[in-house]
C-alpha cells in the first residue's frame, strides 16, 4: 500500500500547487481574461495530472499494488469532487467551453483563448506526470515508467461504437451539468462527481471514458494502435456531438445558432379569461327580461 500512499500524496501536492497558482492569479492578474486563462490552465493541469496518476493506479494497482477497483473508484469520486469544488469557475474541458459559447455566455475570442489555455495546461500536466514517473518513487511508478513508451490505444471497440460511447458519455455528463449548473455547490459538486464516476466505471473498458478532448489528447493520442483521425473521431467529434445533443434536448434550441425553439412548443401568454364569457352570458339575461317585459306589457284582448 506504500505506492497508494505516495499517489495520494501526489494528488494533494498537485491540488495544493494549483490552488497557489489560482491565488496568485487573483492577487496579481486582472479578474478578466488573464485571470480566466490562469484558472483554465490550472484546472487543466490539475485534471490531467490527477487523471494520469489515477489511471496508472487503475491499470497496475489490481495486480501489483494489492488493492482493487473499489479503491480506485472511491479515489475517482473524491478527486472529481475536489476538482469540482476547486476549479473556481474554470471548466478545464473544451466541450464545456464551447457549450458556454453556444449559450451566449462567452465570446469567440474568449472561448478560443480558453481552449488554448486548456491545451497548454493538459500538455504541461502530462509532462510533469511523466517526469514524476521517471523518478520511480514506488514500484507502481517503476512499472508505469517501463510501460509508458509502449502504451496502447484506449480504443478497445470498433470505431463507430467507440465514438458512440464517448458521445453518450458526453451527452449524459452535459445533461447533468445543464441541470445543476445553477444549483448550490453542495448539490452540484457531488452530482457531477457521481456522474463522472459512473460513466468511467461503465464506459472505461471500451474507450477509457474521457469525454474531455483536452484530457484525451494528452493521455492517449501519442499511443500506438489507432490513427490520429481515429482519435479525432472518437475523442473530439464524439464528445462534441454529445454536447450538442444534450444542449438541444435541454434548451430546445442552440441560442448562438438560432433562437427558435425546435423541440418544445411555447404556450401563448395571453388567454381569454373566463370572466368575459360569464359577463356576456349574464348580459343576455336583461335582454331576455326586456323581451319578456315587452310581451307582458302588450294589451290583452
| Tens-digit pLDDT profile for residues 172-183 | 999 999 999 989
Please state which of the ranges 31-45, 83-97, 276-290 shows the lowest mean pLDDT: 276-290
Residue 275: inside a domain, yes or no? no
pLDDT greater than 60 at residue 57: yes
Q: Domain total for the chain?
A: 1
Q: What is the mean pLDDT of residues 150-154?
A: 87
Cβ-contact 197, 76 below 8 angstroms? yes
Residue carrying the nine cell digits 469532487 = 81
Q: What is the mean pLDDT of residues 129-156?
A: 89
User: What are residue 260's phi and psi, to 5 degrees?
Assistant: -70, 135
Query: pLDDT value at position 269?
Result: 43
pLDDT digits (tens, 9 = 90+) for 264-291: 765 544 455 555 544 444 455 444 444 4
Residue 103: inside a domain, yes or no? yes
Q: Considering all CA atoms of the chain, what is the largest pairwise distance in Å, rounded to the nearest integer?
A: 125
What value does the mean pLDDT of the chain take?
A: 86
Please tell me the distance from the alpha carbon of residue 261 to that of residue 111, in angstroms, as a whole number.
Answer: 25
HEC-encoded secondary structure of 154-189:
CCCCCHHHHHHHHHHHHHHHHHHHHHHCCCCHHHHH
Residue 276: inside a domain, yes or no? no
Residue 215: inside a domain, yes or no? yes
Instruction: Determine the structural domain holding residue 120 and report its residue range.
Output: 1-251
Which residues make Cβ contacts (< 8 Å) with residue 83, sequence separation at least 6? 43, 46, 47, 50, 92
Residue 124: inside a domain, yes or no? yes
Residue 96: inside a domain, yes or no? yes
Residue 87: inside a domain, yes or no? yes
Q: The domain that contains 84 carries what CATH number? A: 1.20.1080.10
Task: State the pTM of this model.
Answer: 0.84
Residue 198: inside a domain, yes or no? yes
Residue 82 C-alpha from the chain's centroid = 15
Integer CA distances (angstroms), 87 to 1, 18, 91, in order: 29, 9, 7
Amino acid at each position: 500500500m506504500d505506492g497508494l500512499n505516495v499517489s495520494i500524496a501526489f494528488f494533494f501536492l498537485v491540488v495544493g500547487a494549483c490552488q497557489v497558482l489560482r491565488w496568485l492569479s487573483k492577487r496579481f492578474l486582472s479578474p478578466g481574461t488573464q485571470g480566466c486563462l490562469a484558472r483554465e490552465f490550472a484546472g487543466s493541469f490539475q485534471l490531467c495530472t490527477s487523471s494520469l496518476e489515477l489511471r496508472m493506479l487503475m491499470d497496475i494497482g489490481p495486480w501489483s499494488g494489492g488493492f482493487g477497483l473499489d479503491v480506485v473508484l472511491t479515489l475517482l469520486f473524491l478527486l472529481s469532487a475536489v476538482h469540482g469544488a476547486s476549479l473556481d469557475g474554470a471548466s478545464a474541458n473544451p466541450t464545456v467551453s464551447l457549450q458556454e459559447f453556444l449559450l451566449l455566455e462567452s465570446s469567440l475570442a474568449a472561448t478560443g483563448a480558453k481552449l488554448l489555455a486548456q491545451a497548454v495546461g493538459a500538455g504541461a500536466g502530462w509532462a510533469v506526470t511523466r517526469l514524476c514517473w521517471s523518478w520511480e518513487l514506488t514500484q507502481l511508478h517503476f512499472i508505469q515508467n517501463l510501460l509508458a513508451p509502449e502504451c496502447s490505444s484506449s480504443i478497445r471497440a470498433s470505431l463507430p461504437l467507440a465514438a458512440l460511447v464517448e458521445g453518450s458519455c458526453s451527452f449524459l455528463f452535459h445533461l447533468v451539468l445543464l441541470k445543476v449548473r445553477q444549483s448550490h455547490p453542495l448539490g452540484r459538486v457531488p452530482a457531477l462527481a457521481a456522474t463522472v464516476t459512473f460513466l468511467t466505471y461503465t464506459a472505461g473498458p471500451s474507450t477509457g471514458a474521457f469525454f474531455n478532448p483536452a484530457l484525451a489528447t494528452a493521455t492517449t493520442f501519442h499511443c500506438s494502435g489507432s490513427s490520429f483521425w481515429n482519435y479525432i473521431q472518437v475523442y473530439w467529434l464524439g464528445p462534441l456531438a454529445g454536447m450538442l445533443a444534450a444542449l438541444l434536448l435541454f434548451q430546445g434550441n442552440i441560442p448562438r445558432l438560432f433562437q427558435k425553439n425546435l423541440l418544445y412548443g411555447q404556450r401563448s401568454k395571453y388567454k381569454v379569461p373566463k370572466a368575459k364569457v360569464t359577463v356576456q352570458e349574464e348580459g343576455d339575461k336583461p335582454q331576455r327580461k326586456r323581451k319578456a317585459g315587452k310581451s307582458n306589457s302588450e294589451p290583452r284582448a
